[in-house]
Amino acid sequence: MDSTGGKIDDGLSALPDDLLHLILASVGDDAAAVARTSVLSRRWRHVWLHAQDLSLAEADTASRGAPGRFARSVDRALAHRGDADVGSLKIVFRHCRATPAQVTAWLRYAARRVVTCFHLDLGVTAQTSEAAPPPPPAAVVELPSHGRAASVWLNFPALARLRLPTTAATYDALTKLTLVDAWFDEVAPGGGRSLGSFVSACCPRLRVLNVGWPHGLRHLALRTDSLEELDLSGAYDLETLDVDAPNLRLLSVHWCFSGPMFSRVGDRLVATKWVRVSSARWLEEVRMLTTLTRRIPVEIRGGDLTSVRRLSGIALDLHGRHCVDRNNGLWLLRKCTRAEHVQVDLFDPVPITYPGFYDVPVDFTAEGAAPFASVRTLSVMTRPFYGRHFMANLSSLLSRFPCLRSLGVDIFEDHQGNDGPSGCLCDIDELDDHPNVSLTSLQDVKIIGFTGTEQEMSLVKLLFESSSSLKIMTVSVMTAKGKNNDDADGGLLERIGRELSNIPCNDRGRWHREGKVHAADGGCPPSSAQNFKFVWH
């Protein structure tokens, strides 16, 4: 008679491959756990390699292994599958130790065999220098001219330049393309097709294009009927962006462009960097942050920006009532007259030491300036402001959003002490001269990163003064993290609670404290900033 173990083994081994694959698929994202099932028996040895979705991932501790070992293991796994199609294929390196020839072979394999999703993450390159940008890699890897996958995700660090196919190419099924850290080959003499030309001519169904931290991507011109989302991040080399995409819904240009943006022609300054968006009648969401010192020209052709409902990442450089619009934040707020949701990074511009270096500041709170009356939800991220700039900037900002229903303020860190370095743009004497703020529709407020400074308390006071419609306000307290000073935290919370209660508020609510108790109450040390909340309702 069989032992129990023997019987169970028989049960599992009697299952058809379909079911073994279903079990492996249920293991989820843990590539190593799936691969380890090969130790069960001879039959299981290669079951995992033939799964519909194959995932190969180098371990966190890979630095211990011999260089190139994981890459050889990938070669072996793909060879084992032979000519069978694969649903999705995911290859994840920790450190980039593949050869360009290997990567070329994997790209070719994927182009022929992968049906849904091909994900190749080549990890990080070993030698990165903080001081100088590394030179372009010498080797070139060319993308195959045809691909079957619906989605391609490539993290392509300094192993090789990425050459897009030079000959007639088709990626008919491709709907989503993500390229991270790639060195584009288009500027090199004899280099490949440009990214813009590849997307426009070879990817007729592409709906989503994400490009993150590209190198050598200077000009991007897209002519595409299918594209709905364009997300460019960290494209510092970018000079011109020209998007003609009638179905575009999301335009995100995040931390792009850098360096000088004008050249002098005679006695005129001519913009050498610009953004042009054509016929984007359905644009719903815009995110725009640059690393430039001046506002980059943005041209909207064949329409306007009134379809935009969400500005999900814009920046304003405020100095009290003054605004330097180097990020187009103010420009976008003015153009997107029907935007309902706004997420704004509030910068504090550095002092102006070189006249002409920055754009001329404008009065953000000027009388007669149209309010941004369509905005219902505003989410603000503050930077470390000097002294009274905190309230000067926030009151200036809030004065332009009279119809808010919901406000979120994320206090990054509040500078205490002096009001700013010398050379400050605004007149120090003006810092307490706040514009009138009236928020008659405001219902809920969330403040996080609160540390209880006088300026922060003034913000709470302002919100109660300017709104009688408020229903709930949540203040999450940032305690001294890492200091493990329970008594100090307890004292801080007590003080904040007391001071909040002293702020005149309408009689419909009162303050409650939520979250973990502090040491004085129960000996439970505070562990993170979000554990303590004061809620008014």
Partner 1 sequence: MAAPESGDGNNGAARMVTLISSDNTRFEVEAAAASLSQTLQLTILDGGGGGGDGIPLPNVDSATLSKVLEYCIKHAPAAANGGAPNATAVDRAELERFDNEFVNIDQSVLYSLIMAAHNLEIEGLQSLVAKKVADMIKGKSPMEIRRTLGFPDPTPEEQAEMNAHMLEYGWAYE
Q: Could you list the residues that contact partner 1 (CB under 8 A)?
A: 3-9, 11-12, 14-16, 18-19, 22-28, 30-33, 35-42, 45, 56-59, 61-62, 64-65, 69-70, 73, 76-77
As a whole number of angstroms, the distance between CA 172 and CA 525 comes to: 58
Nearest-approach distance from CB 512 to partner 1, in angstroms: 26
Q: Which of 216, 174, 218, 222 is nearest to 196 (CA)?
A: 222
Nearer to partner 1, 30 or 299 (CB): 30
| Cβ 492 vs Cβ 520: under 8 Å | no
Nearer to partner 1, 26 or 127 (CB): 26
Nearest-approach distance from CB 77 to partner 1, in angstroms: 8
Nearer to partner 1, 9 or 419 (CB): 9
Rg (alpha carbons) of the chain, rounded to whole number: 28
Nearer to partner 1, 12 or 105 (CB): 12
Nearer to partner 1, 45 or 512 (CB): 45
Nearest-approach distance from CB 62 to partner 1, in angstroms: 7
Half-sphere exposure of 415 (CA within 13 A, CB side): 16
Nearest-approach distance from CB 114 to partner 1, in angstroms: 20
Nearest-approach distance from CB 78 to partner 1, in angstroms: 13
Nearer to partner 1, 16 or 190 (CB): 16
Calculate helix-pair angle for 486-502, 454-466, nearest 10 degrees: 30
- Is the dihedral angle over the CA atoms 245, 250, 251, 255 positive or is it negative? negative
Nearest-approach distance from CB 46 to partner 1, in angstroms: 9
Nearest-approach distance from CB 55 to partner 1, in angstroms: 10
Nearest-approach distance from CB 178 to partner 1, in angstroms: 23
**332, 334, 338, 344: CA torsion to nearest 10:** 50
Nearer to partner 1, 29 or 130 (CB): 29
DSSP state for residue 45 in the 8-state scheme = G
What type of residue sits at position 115?
V
For 60-79, give the secondary structure using H, E and C: CCHHHCCCCHHHHHHHHHHH
Cβ-defined contacts of 162-167 (< 8 Å, 24+):
163/191, 163/192, 164/192, 164/193, 164/194, 164/195, 164/197, 164/198, 165/192, 165/193, 165/198, 165/202, 166/142, 166/192, 166/193
Nearer to partner 1, 93 or 109 (CB): 93
As a whole number of angstroms, the distance between CA 446 and CA 474 comes to: 5
As a whole number of angstroms, the distance between CA 91 and CA 32 comes to: 12
